Each structure stands twice: as structure tokens, then as C-alpha cells.
A and B are shown apart, each in its own frame.
Chain A
Amino acid sequence: QQQVKQSPQSLIVQKGGISIINCAYENTAFDYFPWYQQFPGKGPALLIAIRPDVSEKKEGRFTISFNKSAKQFSLHIMDSQPGDSATYFCAASPQGGSEKLVFGKGTKLTVNP
């Protein structure tokens, strides 16, 4: 069964700290791993994504680390800011297509000023 497990469910970080969210998957057919960010009252929006042939991808303060052998990937938010407070979803997509995109259950991040 296709599944993506995400932890923690909630996370509180001080301004300037590092936020780390972890995800694990089971289906080796997954080959595209996006992260979505959702603000209250809004729909999720693509934040950053990675393919399994790359072990790390960085965009500004956001970094995805990918461990193919362990079937795990994580999102690191450096220098976390109050404006980063949102719910973050990891996801996985089989064979490069966004059809059947499978989402983790989400992590609610709160960055205190």
C-alpha cells in the first residue's frame, strides 16, 4: 500500500532556529518527492521538490535531504522565521507524475518570535 509517514505532527521552534521535518515511504516506485506548504485558510502550495538521484537540494533557507537506501527524506528550514509558521506536507509521486500524489499527514510548524 502506498503510504508516506510524516513526523512530527507539530513542531515549535524559536525564531532563528532550525526546523526539521521527517518523512518515510515504503513504495520503491516513488521517484519524485515534493514538499507543500499550507497557510491557514489557503490551499497547499509547492515549496521545494527532489528526485532520488540527488541526495540534497537547497533553495534559500529550505533544504531537502534524501536517503534512498533508508527510504527517508527530510525538510530543514534554516534560520526559521515567524512567517514560516504553516503546515508542511511531504508527498511522493510514482514514476515522475503527479497523478496519485500521496501526501503525508502534515506537520504544523509554529515559529515563535
Chain B
Amino acid sequence: DAGVIQSPRHEVTEMGQEVTLRCKPISGHDYLFWYRQTMMRGLELLIYFNNNVPIDDSGMPEDRFSAKMPNASFSTLKIQPSEPRDSAVYFCASTTAWVRYTGELFFGEGSRLTVL
């Protein structure tokens, strides 16, 4: 079975540019999460969706960040304009309503973003 698929795997951009990260969750999973990983702050939850609806976006750092989930098989995380401090690895993860009680999230391989 295919796991969580993220693209691009690597992105290098210049400050001020728009960045769009994409995620395809595991089929049948109804929860989708976006995390950001940095050395300083570790894994931070940015936002999560349930049945395509954003439930909690309190972790989104500022208005430059936005996330959408137009359907059950696709989500995007957009940063506009990007800044060097946004450089990090961004992970998408998914899970199902019953699996969540075991605490298991299925992570993608991440998108490494470098903003110059």
C-alpha cells in the first residue's frame, strides 16, 4: 500500500517567493496533519484536518502560512511570502478515526524547504 506522499522532496527558493507543499494522505484516512521540524523547535503541529475541514490551526506561525484540503486525497501548505526562518522540513501525516486511539500517525518522507 502507498504511504503518505509528499512533494516536492526538496525546495530551494528565495526570500519573498511563494512556496506550495503538497500531500496525498493514505486512502481511507480522514485525519491529516501538517508538522514542521527544525533542530531548535523539534516537531511542531501546524494544523490538522478532519474530513477535509480544518480543526485546529493554532500552530500556524503567522498569516503567511495557509493550508487547504479541497478533497480527501489532497492537501496543500502554502507560504507566501517565504522567509529564511521558514527553512525546515515539513511533514504531512494521516490517520483514521479508529487508529487515532492508538496514537499512530503515518508520516510522509517530508519536504525540505530552504529559503535563501
Contact = CB atoms under 8 A, between A and B. Distances in A.
A45 interface: yes
Contacts, number: 64
Contact of A43 (B42, B55, B93, B99): B93
Interface residues of B, number: 23
Contacts of B48: 99
Interface in B66-87: none
A46 B105 CA distance: 7
Nearest to B42: A105
Nearest to B91: A43
B4 A43 contact: yes
A100 B104 CA distance: 12
Interface string A83-110: 0000001010100111111111110000
A42 B105 contact: no
B25 interface: no
Interface of A: 32-34, 41-46, 49, 89, 91, 93, 96-106
Interface of B: 4, 31, 41-43, 45, 48, 55-56, 91, 93, 95, 99-105, 107-110
7 contacts: A34-B103, A44-B107, A46-B104, A98-B100, A101-B105, A102-B45, A106-B42
